[in-house]
Amino acid sequence: MKTFPVGGVHPPENKITAGTAIKHLPLPASVAIPVSQHIGEPAVVEVNKGDTVKTGQVIARSKGFVSTNIHSSVSGKVSKIDTILDSTGFRQTAVFIDTEGDEWLETIDRTDSIPAGIKFSSEEIIKKCLESGIVGLGGATFPSHVKLTVPAGKRCDTLIINGAECEPYLTSDHRLMLEKAREILIGTSILMKALKVNKALIGIENNKPDAISQLSGLAKEFQGITVHSLKVKYPQGAEKQLIKALINREVPSGRLPLDVNAVVHNVGTAFAVYEAVQKNKPLFERVVTITGRSVLNPGNYFVRTGTPVRSLIEAAGGLPEDTGKVISGGPMMGKAIPNIDVPVVKGTSGIVLIPRNESERTVIRPCIRCAKCVAACALNLEPYLLMALSEKNEFERAERERITDCMECGSCSYTCPAGRPLLDYIRLGKAIVIKMARKRMSN
Amino acid sequence: MNNLLNVSLSPHIHGKETTQKLMLGVVTALIPAFFTSVFFFGYGALIVTTVSVASCLLFEYFIAKYVLKTSITITDGSAVVTGLLLAFNLPSNIPVLIIVIGSFISIAVAKMTFGGLGNNPFNPALVGRVFMLISFPVQMTSWPVPAGFDTGYTDAVTGATPLAIIKEGLKNGEPISQLMSQIPTPAQMFLGEMGGSMGEVAAAALLLGFVWLLFRKIITWHIPATIVVTIFIFTGILWAINPEKYANPQFHILAGGVLLGAIFMATDYVTSPMNLKAMLLYGFGIGMLTVVIRIWGAYPEGVSFAILIMNAFVPLMNAYIKPKRFGEVVKNG
């Protein structure tokens, strides 16, 4: 069984919604679509208050290379352009639209056909990704057209499709692989064509045997695509860990997958690329898991971007009485959101409701030097040391101990028997070390 | 407003392990050895264990409350573990007052002086034990002959440990083949029917505890295995060179405190290294030093000293022996 070689933890899976088919969430009365749902420059708003927009219409256009388009997810009238608190806790510009009917752009193919033939060249596919606002749907939301553009001097020979879904609770990728397997495989072929590679590996954790058999059965019809089962171990879905597990290449510290000639895309992204290229449908909806142990009707939904998290929670039977924390994303790396009026965005893979008694941190006890954090670190760093160095403001040493390698997977804090906030301090130290390094570069 | 949402940083879930549960796991692992020591040494073993654990807890409580004026930490279980391990390193006929003094050294000097749990450089139980060995050499080296509940307490009939028999015999010029008739059979040694510290005698019980520690993922195999393998190979080589001058390797593993030390003392979280590479070196060092002390040193037994000496190198090892970082490679592919 393939897996990454060092570290990792086994949090309880809690995949409550694994058997629940994806439904369409009823359209909300209004949406608030943020202009920055991706890493990079926010898009520039193109509509004005009072404008009538159609579903799928561009409402904000990309600015610069690392940026992408934002589309309207509903049809209706722009009520205002204002700021809104997003899932990161910051205010940002959003286009507010009051829903009227659901009139899609005529160019979008809404039939049930699943066209497999790819009519476009590599450049055309990349352009389509930008136009359709495709970003990495695993959570990082890096604009896909950037990732597909192999810079001069670099070479790519392998595409990896990430279906690990190693975060507890989340099942959006799992359901998508079951229900849209053919679309994902066509999307994978499109990505292969864009990258000009003839080999693609789909990695799936083996707690999803149905998805593995579904995809590997269909993959026989597609040239160059193979499906691989991976050991269940967090963070199996981390880009560098996945590359190591599947093709045994180790991305050097501080470098990108392309440095080992590989590119990783999420299964959700492959599906979005399929829709954008074959059906002309921009990215304005995605699968979101709404779950939690106290949730009445947990499930998986196709949700339009800009839909308030509140609507999703209502569809799942309302906010449980005991809710102490609402997480956008998974419980290991997701963000706790400040209120439930935060809009669902391209990167929202799930909403997890955590009961109050589980939402509070435990008492911080002294480090007993058990080395469990060192054993848990998938990058073989020493979290106890990095925390101590951050606490003592010894940032030069922290840099030498490679604090910037940390991907913030949270395995160290998860595993610490003394309940120490290792990752909090590492984040702090990492931010300061990065700032120091930038300053050094500019001098 | 008690319905405000909590917005702390990720990760939002935490594993089930706590300091207290880990310590409880170690206590559980010591239960088989405790029962065998009571089985062989009778109520003396009960008294020594009770006094040792109780005085360790009391010293930690009073020091935290009245000297350091910090929160009371005795519920974390670490003082119980120290108390048990100290008792296991003592003969079962040791007078109460000496145990109390040893506990004081363990907790007050070796642990709390440095700031309590997590900060002590040396294994507290071993510091206490070695202090007692040097201060009360007679009481610390009179070993009751195992006779179950007939052993008695301070009135127990005493005899030498297998290691002492060999050491003394060799000093008097007797060859190993003659000395072997005076020491217990390997089966007796494996089950614990021999003189020695009350917790170290039964290899079988200690190995049972080891299995539990591994199963509960409290420790990894690295430190105990390297110590035992190092001792086995080193003494094996010496034995191969001259079997009349050096005892066989099985004897060295089963006699004395090798297993208790390797499984329970050297693996003490606080005083052992933080990564696997360093753990292997640490274990190797303990194994080598143990053999050197046993064979060429003044004491018949060297496990305690070996562990304490290697404890001193742990900060150095943590600073200079680093795990191979992920991505620390030349470009490949």
Q: Which residue on chain A is closest to B217 by alpha carbon?
A: A372
Q: How confident is the model at residue B329, as a pLDDT? A: 65
Q: Which residues of A touch B10 (CB under 8 A)?
A: 327, 331-336, 408, 410, 423
Q: Pick the residue of B1, B3, B10, B272 with the most A CBs within 10 A to test the interface with A by mutation.
A: B10
Query: A173: closest CA among A248, A293, A272?
Result: A272
Mean pLDDT calculated for residue range A323-335: 94
Residue with tokens 């009481």, as numbered in its chain: B139
- Which of residues B23 and B70 earns the better pLDDT score? B23
First to last CA, chain B: 57
A243 against B72, higher pLDDT: A243
Instruction: State how far Cα A101 lies from the chain centre.
Output: 30
Q: Count of alpha carbons within 13 Å of B102, Cβ hemisphere only?
A: 37
Query: Which numeric CATH code is attached to A122-278?
Result: 3.40.50.11540
Q: Tokens for B44, please give them.
A: 């003396």
Least confident of A264-268, B235-239, B278-282, B297-301: B297-301
**In chain B, which residues have their Cβ closer than 8 Å to the Cβ of A354?**
12-13
How close is the nearest chain A Cα to the Cα of B74, in Å? 12
- pLDDT of the residue at A412: 97
What number of CA atoms fall less than 13 Å from residue A366's CA on the CB side?
18
Cβ contacts of B326 on chain A, cutoff 8 Å: 6, 240, 244, 250, 253, 378-380, 405
Three-class secondary structure of residue A169 per DSSP: coil
pLDDT digits (tens, 9 = 90+) for B132-157: 999 999 999 989 998 888 888 888 88
As a whole number of Å, the end-to-end CA separation of chain A is 49
Residues B171 and B295 sit within 8 Å (Cβ to Cβ): no
Cβ–Cβ under 8 Å, residues B68 and B112: yes
Query: Best residue in B6, B218, B326 to probe A by mutation, most A CBs within 10 Å?
Result: B326
Give B71→chain A minimum CA distance, Å.
11
Could you give phi then psi for residue B307, rounded to 5 degrees?
-65, -45
pLDDT > 60? residue B102: yes
Give pLDDT, residue A237.
Answer: 93
pLDDT at B2 over 60: no
Residue identified by tokens 């590679």 is: A197
With a pLDDT cut of 70, the percent of chain A lying above it is 100
Helix residue spans in B172-302 (DSSP H): 176-179, 186-191, 203-215, 222-241, 249-254, 258-260, 276-296
CA A342 from centre of chain:
17
The Cα A378–Cα A412 span in angstroms is 9
**B327:A405 CB<8 A:** yes
Give the model's pLDDT for residue B331. 46
Q: Do A249 and B323 touch (CB under 8 A)?
A: no
- Interface contact B118-A372, CB threshold 8 A: no
- Kindly report, residue by residue over B302-315, the tens digit of the pLDDT: 999 999 999 999 99
User: Does B7 contact A325 at a Cβ distance shorter than 8 Å?
Assistant: yes
pLDDT category at B332 given cuts 50, 70, 90 is very low
Residues of A in contact with B328 (CB under 8 A): 252-253
CB A84 within 8 A of CB A91: yes
Strand partners, A9: A234
Tens-place pLDDT, residues A240-259: 999 999 999 999 998 999 99
Ordered alpha helix ranges (H), A56-171: 122-131, 144-148
Region for residue A412 given its phi and psi (left: phi exceeds 0; alpha: psi -120 to 50; beta: otherwise): alpha
**Residue A366 contacts B, CB cutoff 8 Å:** yes
pLDDT of residue B328 exceeding 60, the answer is yes
Residues B194 and B201: beta-carbon distance below 8 Å:
yes
Domain covering A22-108+282-356: architecture: Roll (3.10)
Sheet holding A70-71, edge to edge: A44-45, A58-61, A70-71
Distance from CA of B59 to the nearest CA of A (A): 19
Out of A251, A366, A384, the one facing B274 most closely (by C-beta) is A384
Which pair of tokens denotes residue A179?
Answer: 């229900």
Residue B117 to residue A337, Cβ atoms within 8 A:
no
pLDDT computed for residue B40 by the predictor:
94
- E-strand ranges in A26-87 read 30-34, 44-45, 52-53, 58-61, 70-71, 76-85
CB atoms within 10 A of CB B39: 17
3-state secondary structure (DSSP) of residue B259: helix
- State pLDDT tens for residues B246-279: 999 999 999 999 999 999 999 999 999 999 999 9
A234 contacts A226 by C-beta, under 8 angstroms? no
Residues in chain B within 8 Å Cβ distance of A338: 5, 7
Sheet with A200-205, side-by-side order of all strands: A225-230, A200-205, A158-163, A262-266
Measured between CB atoms, which of B7, B116, B329 is closest to A252? B329
B327–A331 CB contact, under 8 Å = no
Q: What is the DSSP string of A321-374?
A: TTEEEEEES-TTT-EE-S-TTPBP-TT--EEEEEEHHHHSPPPP-------HHH
Helices (H), chain B: 19-41, 43-62, 78-88, 96-104, 124-135, 137-140, 162-171, 176-179, 186-191, 203-215, 222-241, 249-254, 258-260, 276-296, 303-320
Instruction: Parse chain A into domains and list their residue ranges.
Output: 22-108+282-356, 122-278, 372-442
Q: What is the pLDDT of residue B333?
A: 41
pLDDT computed for residue B5 by the predictor:
86
User: Is residue B106 within 8 Å of B122, Cβ to Cβ?
Assistant: no
**Distance (Å) from the C-alpha of residue B266 to the closest C-alpha of chain A?**
13
Highest averaged pLDDT of the listed ranges A282-291, B175-184, B295-304 = A282-291
Cβ atoms A143, A265 nearer than 8 A: no
Shortest alpha-carbon distance between residue B129 and chain A (Å): 22
Q: A301-312: buried (b, 16+ CB within 10 Å) or exposed (e) per residue?
A: bebbbbbbbbbb
Please answer yes or no on whether B6 and A339 come within 8 Å at the CB atom.
no
Judge whether residue A107 has pLDDT over 90: yes
Residues of chain A numbered 99-128 and touching chain B (CB < 8 Å): none
- Give the distance from CA A275 to its chain's centroid: 18
Closest residue to B269, CB basis, from A251, A368, A381 = A368
Percent of residues, chain B, with pLDDT higher than 90: 79
Q: What residues in A contact B274, CB-CB < 8 Å?
A: 369, 371, 374, 382, 384-385
Cis peptide leading into A235, omega within 30 of 0?
A: yes
Confidence band (pLDDT; 50, 70, 90) for B70? confident
Sign of CA dihedral B163, B164, B166, B171: positive
The secondary element (H helix, E strand) that includes residue A22 is strand A22-24
| Mean pLDDT of the region B63-87 | 93
Contacting residues of B for A244, CB less than 8 Å apart: 326
Phi, psi values for residue A434, rounded to 5°: -65, -40
Please spell the DSSP secondary structure of B265-281, one letter per residue.
ITT-TTTS-SSHHHHHH
Which band of pLDDT confidence, cut at 50, 70 and 90, is reported for residue B73?
Answer: confident
The minimal CB distance from A9 to the residues B15, B272, B333 is found for B15
Written as six digits, the tokens of A324 are 């102490």
- Predicted confidence at residue B330, as pLDDT, reads 54
Q: Average pLDDT of chain A?
A: 95
Q: Are the CB atoms for B78 and B23 separated by under 8 Å?
A: yes
Question: For residues A384-411, b (16+ Cβ closer than 10 Å) or e, as one string?
Answer: bbbbbbbeeeebeebbebbbbbbbbbbb
CB contact (8 A) between residue A369 and residue B274: yes
* Contact yes or no for A142/A269 (Cβ under 8 A): no
A262, A369, A424 member nearest B269 (Cβ): A369
Chain A residues in contact with B76 by the CB 8 A cut-off are 365
Cβ neighbours for A414, distance < 8 A, ≥ 6 positions apart: A9, A11, A332, A376, B11, B13, B14, B15
User: Chain B within 8 Å of A384 (Cβ-Cβ)?
Assistant: yes
Contacts of A155 in chain B (CB under 8 A): none
Report the alpha-carbon distance of residue B293 to residue B303 in Å, rounded.
8
Whether residue B1 has pLDDT greater than 50: no
Residues B176-191: what's their mean pLDDT? 90
Q: How far does CA A160 lie from the centroid of its chain?
A: 15
pLDDT at A319 over 70: yes
Query: Nearest-CA neighbor of B139 among B85, B87, B196, B93?
Result: B93
pLDDT at position B60 is 96
**Searching chain A, which residue's CA lies closest to the CA of residue B333?**
A260
DSSP class of residue B111 equals I
Banded model confidence at residue A94, pLDDT cuts 50, 70, 90? very high
Is the CB of residue A435 less than 8 Å from the CB of residue A427? no
Greater confidence, B151 or A418? Answer: A418
- List all residues of chain A from 314 to 343 with a beta carbon under 8 Å from chain B: 323-327, 331-340
Contacts across the A-B interface (CB distance below 8 Å): 168
